[in-house]
Amino acid sequence: MKKRHNEFSVPAETVHVTERQALRVKPPRAGHIVIAFVLTFLVVTSVAGEDGPIEAALDPDGRFDPAAYIGGWLTADRDNDGRADYAVRVDERGYKLREAMDYNLDGRMDDFYFYSNDVLQRQEIDSNFDRAIDIWIYMWRGVYVQKWERDTDYDGVVDLIRDYAQSQ
């Protein structure tokens, strides 16, 4: 009697690996572990250098310049003017660490997002586009506004604070 295959079965001639072979897992060799460690060290030290290209984007003044977002940042040019309008930095897991956006497409970044484990923690906004942060928004669980602060007269000093955690 001939065995019938249903639509989900795989014909035996297409299987190239036995179950025993598939279950066999080789432990990593010591040499592979050393190479991985050295590569990780080199990447971390190159990123951590003060004069490195990534550090310019972390500088409070340099972060407004789209040219600072090179070397480790993924960028997009939404208006095709040759300058980055959006930049995102992710970790090795693909989780967001930081984002920067040129909201009004004037050639300067003005919205900044800070993440921890891919969860939004804080947003900083230059609302009048003068290259100075004047709104700080602190998030809880990535979606709820916990507190916000605002520099209403743009002198660099917070004038208005609303803390929702304290009002409960």
Domain that holds residue 68: 54-163
C-alpha torsion angle, residues 47, 53, 54, 56 (rounded to 10):
130
**How many domains does the chain divide into?**
1
Answer yes or no: are the C-beta atoms of 108 and 83 closer than 8 Å: no
Asked if residue 13 is part of any domain, the answer here is no
* Count of alpha carbons within 13 angstroms of residue 40, beta-carbon side: 8
142 within domain boundaries:
yes
How many residues belong to the chain?
A: 168
Give domain status of residue 59, yes or no.
Answer: yes
Q: Do 159 and 151 meet the contact criterion of CB atoms below 8 Å apart?
A: yes
Tens of pLDDT along the chain (168 residues) come to 544 444 444 444 444 445 554 445 455 555 555 454 444 444 443 444 444 444 566 777 788 999 888 888 999 999 999 999 999 999 999 999 999 999 999 999 999 999 999 999 999 999 999 999 999 999 999 999 999 999 999 998 999 999 998 765
| Residue 106: inside a domain | yes
Contact (Cβ atoms closer than 8 angstroms) between residue 118 and residue 104: no
User: If we measure between CA atoms, which residue out of 113, 115, 119, 153 comes closest to residue 136?
Assistant: 113
Asked if residue 48 belongs to a domain, the reply is no
Collapsing DSSP states into helix, strand and coil, what is residue 98? strand
Residue 72 lies in a domain: yes
Which residue bears the tokens 């507190």?
A: 147
DSSP reduced 3-state for 149: strand
Residue 83's alpha-carbon distances to 21, 44, 65, 125, 139, in angstroms, are 52, 27, 9, 19, 29
Residue 156 lies in a domain: yes
pLDDT value for 52: 44
User: What is the rounded distance in angstroms from the CA atom of residue 54 to the CA atom of residue 38?
Assistant: 21
Running DSSP on this structure, what letter comes out for residue 41? H
**Is residue 45, in this structure, part of any structural domain at all?**
no
DSSP tag of 103: T
pLDDT at 96: 95
